[in-house]
Amino acid sequence: MLNVWGLCLFAFLYAPIVVVMAQSFNSGRFGVTWKGFTWEWYAALFHNEGIRAATINTLLLAVSSTVISTVLGTSLAYGMSRFRWRWGRAWEGLIQAPVYVPDVVVAAGFLVFFDVARRFLPGFEPGLRVMILAHATVQLPFVTLVVRARMSGLDRSLEEAAHDLGADAWQVFREVTGPFLAPGVMSAALLAFTLSLDDFVVSFFMSGPGTTTLPMFIYSSVKRGVTPEVNALSSLLVVLSALAAWFAMRLGNRFRENAE
């Protein structure tokens, strides 16, 4: 009985995605009646100027925010694992808080913050720069948690042995700590990239003229009616996100097996 309920749950979760992906190959432009298999709608994506511009914005936003959040999150995770300070647990709770706060609340907070910041500093107008900062901030807690989990498995005696052999702090990090953290950092970066790729709410609140991303493009297109091009674009986003998540999991498992 439990297996039946489990199958029903998976069907409820993934059936809509399967339907969208199936309709992306339907030659019929209107309705859901199957009229034959076609690649036409995927080919049409490459001739759509709006989709090309949204793709460039999405990739630029995802890559930039991932680099920033990975560097800051790794540094923060390292500092939290190596140093102790007063109210340390409270700070840890604050870092984890954005993980549980609804996206719309976070986005509204960013909107108010950048509105106040514009009164004192230039450069915080709605647009790609503000979107990158907002995405990096949202990704930071996730990167920190993943890297810190990896950091907790590092045997401090290895670093101490390297120091005893004459290595300075940079050499220890380069030869011991860095290689050990590499799989965790790469997994965290892929997770951050996926979060940025799929984000709609924060991007919608922070966007300006000419900064439409793929999720925003899909949203605006759906308001005019679901077309086969939207189904094809949605399917590509699902596949790309799934591949990134799968690669991150495989990478972490491989390094974990090698460590054991």
- In the structure encoding, which two tokens stand for residue 148, read together? 């810190």
Task: Report the domain count for the chain.
Answer: 1
Amino acid identity of residue 173, one-letter, is: F
| CA dihedral angle for residue 175, residue 178, residue 180, residue 184, rounded to 10 degrees | -170
- Residue 58, Cβ density class (10 Å: 0-12 exposed, 13-18 middle, ≥19 buried): buried
pLDDT digits (tens, 9 = 90+) for 222-232: 777 667 777 88
Q: What is the pLDDT of residue 233?
A: 80
Confidence of residue 114 (pLDDT cuts 50, 70, 90): confident
Is residue 108 situated within a structural domain?
yes
The pLDDT of 65-78, averaged and rounded, is 90
Give percent of the chain with pLDDT exceeding 90.
9
Is residue 158 situated within a structural domain?
yes
pLDDT digits (tens, 9 = 90+) for 134-165: 999 999 989 988 888 887 777 666 766 766 66
Is residue 4 situated within a structural domain?
no
Is residue 32 situated within a structural domain?
no
Distance between CA atoms of 25 and 36, rounded to whole angstroms? 8
Please tell me the total number of residues recorded for the chain in this structure.
Answer: 260
The pLDDT of 39-68, averaged and rounded, is 85
Domain span including residue 140: 40-259
- Assign residue 140 the CATH number of its domain: 1.10.3720.10
Is residue 2 situated within a structural domain?
no
Q: What is the pLDDT of residue 186?
A: 85
Is residue 23 situated within a structural domain?
no
Is residue 61 situated within a structural domain?
yes
DSSP secondary structure letter of residue 26: B
Statement: residue 235 has pLDDT above 90: no
Is residue 19 situated within a structural domain?
no
